[in-house]
Amino acid sequence: MAKNILVCDDAAFMRMMIKDILTKNGYNVVGEAENGAKAVEKYNETKPDLVLMDITMPEMDGIQALKKIKETDAGALVIMCSAMGQQAMVIESIQSGAKDFIVKPFQADRVLEAVKKVVG
């Protein structure tokens, strides 16, 4: 059975790129969000198997969204994505419950490797 994934990034082309990588490899993209607030909303609507979450987004950043999602669903699986390989953000993401971290610009195989590792 295909895993359902929610893609959250403020850049439409990044969402499209991630969606393309995932769908070509048998994953089902159940929703997209352009900011953290929408990500939380969409998570509650779609209950995906996994969330790919950008850190830097308007309204609510990815780390805040991750924390909100974890409040409502402690078992939520989230992989963070960010162009900034900032150590502090990576650490905060992992401490907040993220399962993995992908640095942009990412390679398709790195995205798939992270997704497989987290949801199989």
**Inter-CA distances, 26 with 5, 30, 74, 97, Å:** 11, 13, 26, 26
Contact present, 118 and 79 (Cβ < 8 Å): yes
Q: What is the mean pLDDT of residues 66-78?
A: 97
- pLDDT at site 99: 97
User: Which distant-in-sequence residues (6+ apart) come within 8 Å of 2 by Cβ?
Assistant: 26, 27, 28
Q: How many CA atoms lie within 13 A of 10 on its CB side?
A: 13
Q: What is the mean pLDDT of the chain?
A: 94
User: Which distant-in-sequence residues (6+ apart) come within 8 Å of 117 by Cβ?
Assistant: 99, 100
Output the pTM of the full model. 0.94
Bridge partners of 29? 5
Taking each helix axis from N to C end, the angle separating 36-46 and 62-72, rounded to the nearest 10 degrees, works out to 30
- pLDDT at site 63: 96
pLDDT per residue over 7-62, tens digit each? Answer: 999 999 999 999 999 999 999 999 999 999 999 999 999 999 999 999 999 999 99
* Whether the predicted pLDDT of 105 surpasses 90: no
- pLDDT at site 49: 98
* Whether the predicted pLDDT of 86 surpasses 80: no
Dihedral over alpha carbons 68, 69, 70, 72 (to 10 degrees): 90
pLDDT confidence bin for 87, thresholds 50/70/90: confident
**Residue 118 carries which DSSP code?**
H
